[in-house]
Amino acid sequence: SRFETCWPALMKDSHGVIIIFNPDLPSHLKEIEMWYSCFVQQQPLLDSQCLLVAHHKPGSAGDTENLSLAYPLNKLKLIHSNLEEDPEDVRMEFMKYFRNIITIINESREREEMSIIS
C-alpha cells in the first residue's frame, strides 16, 4: 500500500483501532487480518482496544448471521452497521467502545503514576 510509510506516525500513541470493512468483499476479509496484525498486534494493543465494523451498503443483502471470522479476528468485538436500518444501535456500540478505551487509558495512567511514586 502507498501509505505504509505513514503507518508508524498513525500508530504512535494510539489507544484504539476501529477497522471498518465490507463483509461482501472476500478481499476485505483477507485485508482486515493484515490491518489487525499491523495496527493491533504489533503495537501491541489489547483486543478490547480494537473494534471491527462490518458495514453493509444500502440495498446489500447484509447477511449478518453467517459472517464467521477466523482466529484471531473472532476474538474481537464485531458490530454490523447498516445506517439505513438501525443507526442508533451503531451509535450505542461506538459509545460503549469509547467508554472502554477511556477506562483503559485511565487505568494505565494510574499504574504509571503508582510506579513513579513507589
Beta-bridge partner residues of 50: 17
The whole-number pLDDT of residue 62 equals 54
Q: Strand, coil or helix: what is 110?
A: helix
- Boundaries of every domain in the chain: 14-117
Burial class of residue 54, CB neighbours in 10 A (0-12, 13-18, 19+): buried
**Rounded mean pLDDT, 92-107:** 95
What are the pLDDT digits (tens) for 18-54?
A: 999 999 888 888 899 999 998 999 888 999 999 999 9
Give the pTM.
0.83
CA distance linking residue 106 with residue 60, whole number of Å: 40
The whole-number pLDDT of residue 26 equals 85
